[in-house]
Chains A and B, each alone.
Chain A
Amino acid sequence: MMFSFWEIFFFTINTLILAYGISITLAYLILAALSQYELRKYIQRNHFTDFRNILSSPLTPGISLIAPAYNEGLTIIDNVKSLMSIMYNNYEIIIINDGSKDDTLNKMIEAFNLVIVPFDLQYTIATKPVRGIYKSQNRAFKKLTVVDKENGGKADALNVGLNVSKKDLVACIDVDCIIEPDALLKMVKPFLESTKPVIASGGVVRIANSCIVEDGRLVEVKLPQIQIARFQVLEYIRAFLLGRMAWSKLNGLLLISGAFGLFKRDIAVKCGGYNHNTVGEDMELVVRMRVYMHKHNFPYKVTYIPDPLCWTEAPASYQILGRQRNRWARGTFEVLKLHRYLFFNPKYGLMGLVSYPFWFFFEWLAPFVEFSGLLYFLTLACIGKINWIFFFAITLAVYAFAFFISMFSLFSEETSYYKYTQKRDIIKMIGTALIEPLWFHPRVVWWGLKGNFDLIKGKKSWGEMSRQGFVQYKKKNELVR
C-alpha cells in the first residue's frame, strides 16, 4: 500500500506534535513530583532550625545588598528604610542610582544625610563612569552606601555594586521589592550547611498587589483584587513551587530571579559580572557562573529556597505585562544563543544534557510550537481534515492537565506556606485556574512570540515598567480604615 506525500506529511507533523506534548507533560509531572518531595524535605529539615543562631553569630559571611534604582524618587526612601530593617548581623546596603532623571539621589542625600566620600573605586568589572560615592554622616545609617553613576542599565548598575562590595556574598535585588525581614537569614543557610560549595541561591518571589504594606514592610498578605494579578499569582506559585524546587534538587537551576538572588561575590566577579548585552542578565550570570565552575572542575551547587522571601508588584495592565513578557522572551533567547555550546553537551553534565535542552524546547520553543500548532489546526479545519471528536477529546485532556497542575501548585502552597488564608481566596484561585488556559495563556504565548520577533528586529530595551507602588495600597487601606 502506497502513502501519498500529504499522508506522510500529516502523519509526521501529528507524531511530532504528539511527542512534544507527551514530553512536556511528562517533564512537568516529574518536576512537580520532585518539587513536592524537595519542598517537604526542606520544611522538615528547617523544623529544627533556629535562624536566630545565624543572626547572633560572628561566623556568618558578610552580605552586600545591591539595589539598582532608576527614577524611584517616589518610593526610594521607604525602600531603603525597609532594607535597613532586615535582620542580619554583617551586611551593607549599596544603592546604585543609575543616572535617574528624577530626584532619587537628592531625596536620599537629604533623608540620610549623605556626603560624598573619596572611595577609591576599582573598575574590576568595566562599567559606565561613577559620578560619586556617598556615605551617611549619621552613624545610624553606617550600613548604607549610595553610588551615583551614569545611566547604563540594570546589569551595569549591578556590576558597579559588585565593584563597590567588600563582602563575601552579594544579594542582588530590585529596590522596589519588599524583602522579608528574615530573608537573608534564610537565604544564607544553604551557604552554611552544604558540604558542596554553594555559588548562588535564589528565593521565591511572590506577588504583593493588594497586600498591606506599612513602612516598607508587608504586614498582611492578600490575594490581588484584580484578575490579571491573580493570574500571575498562580503562575508564580507554579513556577517557583513546582519548577525551581525540582531544578534545585537536581542541581540544574539556570535561573535565579533578578528580584532577589544571593551570589558568591568572588565567583561572580571572576566570571565578569552581569552581561550588559542581554535583557536576561539574571539568568545569564547564573549560566556563566556554572560554566566557570564546570570549566575549572570545581564542585558547586546552585540552590533555591522555597520560603516566600521577596514580594514584588506585578504588572497591573495587559500592556505592561506584555512588555515584561516580551523582555523575558528576548532574554531567554539571548541567553540560550550566547550559551548554545551547552546544547546536549555532556561536558557540562546535567546542565548541558537536561537543563539547557529543557529551556530550549519547553521554555523558548513552546510559544512557537503552540502558535504553529494553532495555524496547523486552522489549515486542517479549512481542508476538512479534522477529526472533531478527537480534537475535543485532546483539548479536554490538555485543559484538564493544565487545571490539574494549577491545583497541584495550590496544594503545594496550602501544605507548605499557606499564605492565602481566606476561604474565598481558594475559590478565587480555583476560578483563576479554570479560566487561565483560555484567557491568559494565549496572551502569554503571543507576548513570547512577539518578544522573539522584536529581538530579530533588533529591540534591546527593557520597555517601560510603570508601577502603582505599594504606597498607594497603604494609603488606600488607611482610607478604608
Chain B
Amino acid sequence: MKYFTLTYLIQAFSEEVNILLSISVILLLLSIALVLFILISRLVKSYHLKKEEKFKQLFREIIYGISVQEKNRSDQESDLALTELNKNIHSVFGQQVLIDELIHVRKNVVGTSADNIYAVYLNLELHKNSLKKLKSISWVTKARGIRELAEMDYSNAILQIEQLLSAPQQTIREESILALIRLSKNNSFNFINDYKGEITPWIEINIHKHLLTLDARKLPNFSLWFNHSNRSVRSFSIKMTRLFRQIESVPDLLLLLSEADKDIALLAADAICDMAGQEYATPLAEILSNTWDYDQISIRLMNTMASIGDPDIHSKFLTPFLSHPDYEVRLATVRALEQLNGTEQHIQVLEKDKQVAIQQMIAHVNNTFLN
C-alpha cells in the first residue's frame, strides 16, 4: 500500500517531476475553480435578475403613480408613496435599482412629471448616494455618479463635477463635460474657455445630441471659440456653428480658410459649404484660386460654388480646376459647372484625351442614380 501514498510518490520522483506534477495539479484545480465559478455565476446572475425584476416592478408602479401626480394631490398620498419606496432602499442594491428606475422614467417625461421624479430623488436623499460616488476610488463608480447627477439635473453638483474635468480617466472627463453642459443652464459652455483636454468626436456627438433638445436661440455663439488655444475646442466650435447654422459666423469662417492648420480650414470650408449665401460667392471664388494645393478644401468650395455661384461671373474661377491633378477635385469642378451652366463650353480648349475624360465625368455627375 505504501506505493500509493502521496509521501512515497513525492519521495520517489525527481524534483523536476514533482514541480511538473504540482503545476498540473494547480492548473487542474484552477480549471475546476473556473468551471465552478461559471456554474455558480449563472445561479447568481439569475438570482440577481429576479431580485432586480422584483424591485423594478415595485418601484415602477409607485414611480409612475408619482410622476403623473397632479399638483393638487394630497401630501399624505405623496408621503405614503415615499414611505413605501423608503422601506425598500435600505440595501445599496435597492437604492441603485431605484436610482436607475428614476432616471429611466425621467428620460421619458417632461414638465411636472419630471419635477415629481426629481422631488423623489431629493426627498429620499438619493442625491447623496450619487454625490458619494464622486469620491469613490473606482472610475466606474465615479462616472456613474456623474451620469446620475446629470440625468437628474442636480445642478448643485456643478462644483464637484468641475473638479473632475481634468481626471486622468477618459470616461470621467467625458461624463464631466456632458454633465456640466447639461447642468449649467445659462452658461453651459463657461468651462470651455479654460478647457485644456481633448474634445473627441464622441464627445461632440453627445454634446450635439443634448443641444438639439434646447432652444437654438439660447445657444452660445460658437464663433467665440474659433481662436481658442485648444485645437479640439476650435474644431468643436466650427462643427457646432455649422450644425446649428449660425449664419452670422460665416465671415469669421472665411478668415479660417487661410488657417495654417489645414484640418481647421477644411472644417471651416465644410461649414461654409452648408451655410454661405449668394453674397459670399465672389469672395469665395477669389479664395478658391488659393486653395489649389489643398484638394479637400477645393472640393468643399467647389460644392459651395455649385449652389451659390453665378454662371456669368464665377465660372471663370472654376474652369482652371478642370486640369487639377486630383481626380476628385476635377469631378467636383465638373459637378459645379454642370450645376451652373454646363461644362462642355469650357472644355474646348483642353486636349482631346482630357475632353474625353471630362465627358465621362459629365455622364457620371448627371446620372440620377449616382447622385
Residues of A within 8 A of B367 (CB): 117-119
Nearest CB of chain A from residue B26's CB, rounded to whole Å: 8
Asked if B171 is at the interface (CB within 8 A of a chain A CB), the reply is yes
- Closest Cβ of chain A to B34, distance in Å, is 4
Residues of chain B with a CB closer than 8 A to A407's CB: 30-31, 34-35
CB proximity of B301 to chain A, nearest CB, Å? 18
CB of B38 within 8 Å of the partner chain:
yes
* Minimum CB distance partner of B39 in chain A: A426
A423 and B41 CA atoms in complex are apart in Å by 12
Asked if B16 is at the interface of the complex by the 8 Å CB criterion, the answer is yes
CB pair A401–B239 under 8 Å, yes or no, is: no
Cα A189 to Cα B203 with chains together (Å) = 11
- In the complex, are the beta carbons of B171 and A396 less than 8 A apart? no
Minimum CB distance partner of B14 in chain A: A390
Q: Mark A187-204, 1 if CB is under 8 A from B, else 0.
A: 001011111000000000
Q: Which of A59, A124, A423 contacts B239 (CB 8 A)?
A: A59
Contact residues in A for B208 (Cβ distance below 8 Å): 57-59
State in angstroms the CA–CA spacing of A189 and B370 once bound together.
29
Q: Which residue of A lies closest to B327 (CB)?
A: A122
Q: Looking at the complex, which one of B27, B170, B361 makes contact with A404 (CB distance below 8 Å)?
A: B27
What chain B residues lie within 8 Å of A192 (beta carbons)?
A: 200-202, 205
Residues of A within 8 A of B205 (CB): 53-54, 57, 59-60, 192
Residues of A within 8 A of B16 (CB): 390, 393
Once bound together, how far apart are the Cα atoms of A401 and B22, in whole Å? 12
Distance from A44 Cβ to chain B, minimum over Cβ atoms (Å):
5
Is residue B364 contacting chain A, with contact meaning CB distance below 8 A?
yes
Provide the bound-state CA to CA distance between A390 and B209, in Å.
65
- Asked if residues A404 and B38 are in contact (CB atoms below 8 Å), the reply is no
Across the two chains, which residue of chain B brings its CB closest to A412? B34
Q: Is there an interface contact between A393 and B28, defined as CB atoms closer than 8 Å? A: no
| Bound-state Cα–Cα, A423 to B42, Å | 9
Any chain B CB within 8 A of the CB of A242? no
A403 touches B171 (CB 8 A): no
Interface of A is mostly: helix
Q: With the chains together, A115 CA to B28 CA distance in Å? A: 63
Contact (Cβ within 8 A) A137 B369? yes
Q: Confirm or deny: B68 has a beta carbon within 8 angstroms of a beta carbon on chain A.
A: no
Contact A117 B369 (CB under 8 A): yes
A119 close to B14 (CB less than 8 A): no
Chain B: number of interface residues, binned into ranges: 35 or more
Interface: A400 (CB within 8 A): yes
Chain B nearest CB from A42 CB (Å) reads 11
Partner of A56 from B20, B24, B143, B209 at Cβ < 8 Å: B209
Q: Inside 8 A of A37's CB, which chain B residues have their CB?
A: none
Contact B20 A390 (CB under 8 A): yes
C-alpha spacing A182/B367, complex, angstroms: 32
Distance in angstroms between the alpha carbons of A220 and B175 in the assembled complex: 35
8 Å CB interface, A417-449 against B: 418, 423, 426, 430
Per-residue CB contact flags for chain B residues 108-141 toward chain A (1 = under 8 Å, else 0) read 0000000000000000000000000000000010
In the complex, the answer to whether B28 meets A47 with C-beta atoms within 8 Å is no
Q: Could you tell me if B198 and A195 are in contact, using CB atoms closer than 8 angstroms? A: yes
Question: In the bound complex, do residue A120 and residue B331 qualify as a contact, i.e. CB atoms below 8 Å apart?
Answer: yes
Contact among A119, A193, A394 with B370 in the assembled complex (CB-CB below 8 Å)? A119
Q: Does A323 contact B (CB under 8 A)?
A: no
A403's nearest neighbour on chain B, judged by CB, is: B31
Give chain A interface residues in 128-145, CB to chain B under 8 Å.
135-137
Listed residue (A59, A191, A399) with the most chain B CB atoms within 10 angstroms of its CB: A59
Q: Which of B237-293 contact A (CB under 8 A)?
A: 239, 243
Q: Which residues of B contact A54 (CB under 8 A)?
A: 205
Decide if A456 is an interface residue (CB 8 Å cutoff): no
Q: Does B214 contact A (CB under 8 A)?
A: no
- A-contact 0/1 string along B174-208, CB 8 Å cutoff: 11000000000000000000000010111011101
Contact, CB under 8 Å: B23 / A400: yes
Give chain A residues whose Cβ lies under 8 Å from the Cβ of B42: 414, 423, 426
Q: Which of the listed residues B35, B239, B331 has the most CB atoms from chain A within 10 Å of its own CB?
A: B35
- Indicate which residue in B17, B143, B175 contacts A390 across the interface (CB closer than 8 Å): B17
Q: Is A389 an interface residue when CB atoms closer than 8 A count as contact?
A: yes
A3, CB-defined interface residue at 8 Å: no
In the bound complex, residues from chain B placing their C-beta under 8 Å from that of A390 are 14, 16-17, 20
Q: Are B370 and A117 in contact (CB under 8 A)?
A: yes
Given A48-B171, A53-B206, A400-B28; A194-B200 close (CB under 8 Å): yes
B47 within 8 A of A: no
Q: Is B92 an interface residue (CB 8 A)?
A: no
Whether A189 and B202, one on each chain, are in contact in the complex, defined by CB atoms closer than 8 angstroms, is yes
Determine if A397 is an interface residue (Cβ-Cβ < 8 Å): yes
List of B residues within 8 angstroms of A189 by Cβ? 202
Please state if B140 and A44 are interface contacts (CB–CB under 8 Å): yes
Query: In this complex, what residue of B is CB-closest to A433?
Result: B31
| Contact yes or no, B175 A414, CB < 8 A | no
- With a CB–CB cut-off of 8 A, which chain A residues contact B204? 59
A408: interface (CB < 8 Å): yes
Contact, CB under 8 Å: A58 / B243: yes
Q: Which residue of A lies closest to B28 (CB)?
A: A400
Residues of B within 8 A of A191 (CB): 201
Question: Which B residue sits closest to A114, measured CB to CB?
Answer: B369
> Residue among B34, B42, B147, B171 with the most chain A CB within 10 A?
B34
Is B13 among interface residues, defined by CB-CB distance under 8 A?
A: yes
B1 at the interface (CB under 8 A from A): no
Note all chain B residues with C-beta closer than 8 A to A194. Answer: 200
Residue from the list A44, A120, A193, A393 in contact with B20, Cβ < 8 A: A393
Write out the residue numbers on chain B whose beta carbons fall within 8 Å of the beta carbon of A411.
34, 37-38
In the bound complex, what is the Cα–Cα distance between A189 and B201 (angstroms)? 9
Cα of A426 to Cα of B36 in the assembled complex, Å: 11
- Is B360 among interface residues, defined by CB-CB distance under 8 A? yes
CA distance A62 to B37 in the complex (A): 43
Residues of B within 8 A of A404 (CB): 27-28, 30-31, 34
Does A410 make an interface contact (CB < 8 A)? Answer: yes
B198 to A118, Cβ gap below 8 A? no
A45 within 8 A of B: yes
Residues of chain B within 8 A of A414, CB atoms compared: 37-38, 41-42
Q: A53-B205, A189-B202 are in contact. Are A408 and B41 (CB under 8 A)?
A: no
Task: Output the least CB separation between A440 and chain B (Å).
Answer: 18
**A15 at the binding interface (Cβ < 8 Å):** no
Chain A contacts for B13, CB-based, 8 A: 389, 393
Q: CB of B363 within 8 A of chain A?
A: yes
Which residue from chain A places its CB closest to the CB of B200 in the assembled complex?
A: A193
- B21 contacts the other chain (Cβ, under 8 Å)? yes
Other-chain contact of B27, A53, A119, A401, A423 (Cβ < 8 Å): A401
Contacts of A45 in B (CB 8 A): 171
B209 touches A57 (CB 8 A): yes
Q: A23: CB under 8 A from chain B?
A: no
Shortest Cβ distance from residue B262 to the other chain A in the assembled complex, whole angstroms: 14
A394→B171 CA distance, assembly (Å): 46
Chain B residues with CB under 8 A of A418: 45
Give the residue name and chain of the B residue nearest to A45 (CB): B171
In the complex, A47→B143 CA distance in Å? Answer: 10
Question: Can you list 5 residue pairs at the A/B interface with Cβ under 8 Å?
Answer: A48-B171, A118-B367, A193-B170, A393-B21, A408-B34
- The 3 closest A-B CB pairs, nearest first, are A135-B369, A400-B27, A193-B202
Q: A57-B208, A136-B369, A399-B24 are in contact. List 10 more A-B contacts (CB 8 A).
A: A53-B209, A59-B205, A60-B205, A115-B369, A118-B360, A119-B370, A390-B16, A411-B34, A411-B38, A414-B38
Where the two chains meet, the residues of B that have a C-beta atom closer than 8 Å to any C-beta of A are 13-14, 16-17, 20-21, 23-25, 27-28, 30-31, 34-35, 37-39, 41-42, 45, 140, 143-144, 147, 170-171, 174-175, 198, 200-202, 204-206, 208-209, 239, 243, 327, 331, 360-361, 363-364, 367, 369-370
